[in-house]
Structure formats: C-alpha cells, structure tokens
Amino acid sequence: MNVPEDFFVPWYMDSWEIYCSDLRKKVIIEKDIYEYGRLRR
C-alpha cells in the first residue's frame, strides 16, 4: 500500500490515543474491582 507518511501518522496517533485511554479505563476499573473485593473480605 502506497500511502504518504504525513497522511498515515495523524491517523495512527489518534488510534493510539484512543487505545491508550481505553486501556487506562480498563486498568482503573479492574483495580477498583480488586480493591472493592479486598475491602469486603
């Protein structure tokens, strides 16, 4: 596929940002569940 680099980079960066924020949310939620479970015991 022949795509100019300056076209590809912003798209890639946006996807990476979305991916990272989703990952951060997932980690925070899992940490909350873990903390909550530990406190109840």
pLDDT in tens, 1-41: 565 555 555 556 666 777 777 888 888 888 888 888 887 76
| Number of domains composing the chain | 1
Q: What is the pLDDT of residue 34?
A: 83
For 26, the domain range is 5-40
> CA–CA separation, 13 vs 5, rounded Å?
12
Whole-model pTM: value is 0.43
> CA–CA separation, 29 vs 27, rounded Å?
5
Tokens of 15: 């996807």
Q: What is the pLDDT of residue 4?
A: 57
